[in-house]
Structure 1
């Protein structure tokens, strides 16, 4: 699952990374992006690159939480912030987007929580998971435009996830799908690349791609939005309880 992420690079760095030249809106660094908020997404456009048959890319803002076009009332529909890579192509909520509206979601990392068993008494530990080399990355995503009864349109999006690699499995069993820059064109090209043609891209990142940094529980609150969310903290080691003495097994002297 991916329920929080960050995008803190400079706008020029982000747009250069995804090869978008005509996004005029300015956007600040965001350290705690949460579901239902607007997120920056990138998709192929109908226009072609000058001197090439390759489609240009356009960036725009979409609501994080995909709403399929056939939904009548979003209030009666679950919040779809993630789409499982293993099942998205066959799910009614995602299969149209998988075929026609694949997107990139720029990020500089994401947050995840390691949740010990409740009976352990240990509190969940938040982690800031970032690329070891730094910089911007791109999650695989899906997009749908939902039309309300009053005729207004809302662009909505979900981030694709896959089973976590061995390095991150100790934190959580799933992670976002990361699309490498050399695969951007293939992922975004929905006219010639069917879902089966890009299935190989929907996999976990290499074991050494990310590092997991323990951080405080400040990230738990959406209202906390500063860089201190990513400040490393020491992970508390739970105290070992002495084994319970089995008095029933002791022999009585009387």
Structure 2
């Protein structure tokens, strides 16, 4: 699964990797949490005139997928992840799998090894060679009863690669650069055509760095949460769950 991740690349680096035009400016984000806005890259409607650049656009999305048919979110679960193996079969995700696939720029993600029901050790999982990569994502427009609209999204997950299974049995799906166009092409590429992309990353792609439990609190947003710690340190008392930020504050993050 994926419950926290980071995006540390500059706008120029993101534009270059995803073939985007000017996406504006924003700071590095070390601790992106559910319900906060995340950056997604989606396919545009038509190719740019006279350009060889793929038609893609950046979209700011609330991390927490809400199907368009949901009327009241009060009792609806927060869906930040979608299992890639079954997404096309689920009422919540099947339309997005066909029509609204996305790429989610990231620099790494956090995962916790559990000791029973307790999170015993946090890990910062990042590419061994550094840099930015892309999660596979889905997005969905949603409107409340008053007509207020927002885009929502989720990260697709799959079984963990061999070197990460000691932490957790699930991990985000990573889409490689050469597959960006195929993944985003919802016009000619049906879910069955891109099923081969929904697989674990290569075993040597990521490295897992043990970090402190500072990452557990979404209010900790600095680089110190990625500092390596000794895995054998005494497990601290399980922290309480912090209240998510209010939506009005979240949308100020970019």
TM-score, with normalisation over the residues of structure 1?
Answer: 0.89
Instruction: Please show how residues 73-152 of structure 1 align to structure 2 within 5 Å.
Output: 73-117=72-116, 124-152=120-148
Gaps of 5+ in 1: 239-254
Deviating more after overlay: 138-147 vs 42-51: 42-51
RMSD: 1.5
For residue 45 of structure 1, report the CA deviation from its aligned partner: 0.6
**SS at 2:62's partner residue?**
strand
Instruction: Give deviations 1:171-197, integer Å, cap 9, x for gaps.
Output: 110000000000000000000000000
Equivalent-residue separation in structure 2 for 1:59 and 1:237 (angstroms): 41
Equivalent position of 1:67 in the other structure: 66
Equivalent position SS for 1:75: coil
CA–CA distance in 2 between the matches of 1:156 and 1:123? 28
Question: Corresponding residue for 1:243?
Answer: none
2:23 matched to 1:23? yes
Change beyond 3 A, Cα 1:5–1:102: same
Inter-CA distance 29–37: structure 2 relative to 1 (3 Å threshold): same
Counterpart CA distance in 2 for 1:198 and 1:36 is 28
Q: Is the 8 A contact 1:14 1:136 kept in 2?
A: yes
How far did residue 153 of structure 1 move? 1.0
* TM-fit CA distance, 1:140: 0.1
CA distance in 1, matches of 2:6, 2:119: 23
The Cα of 1:22 is off from its aligned counterpart by 3.4
- The residue number in structure 2 matching 1:9 is 9
5+ residue gaps, structure 2, are: 235-254
Is residue 2:204 matched to residue 1:205? Answer: no
Q: CA deviation at 1:223?
A: 0.3
- Which deviations, in whole Å up to 9, do the C-alpha atoms of 1:178-230 show, x marking residues without a partner? 00000000000000000000000000000000000000000000000000010
State the distance in 2 between where 1:27 and 1:187 align: 26
SS class of match (1:12): helix
Contact 1:3 1:34 in 2 (8 A): yes
Contact in 2 for aligned 1:126/1:215 (Cα 8 Å): yes
Matches within 5 A, 1:20-59: 20-24=20-24, 26-51=25-50, 56-59=55-58
1:51: Cα distance to partner? 4.1
Runs of 4+ more than 2 Å apart: 49-55
Q: Is the 1:61–1:155 contact (alpha carbons within 8 Å) kept by the matching residues of 2?
A: yes
Instruction: State the alpha-carbon separation in 2 of the partners of residues 183 and 91 from structure 1.
Output: 24
Q: Deviations over 1:91-118 (max 9, x none)?
A: 0000000000000000000000000235
State the aligned residue count: 234
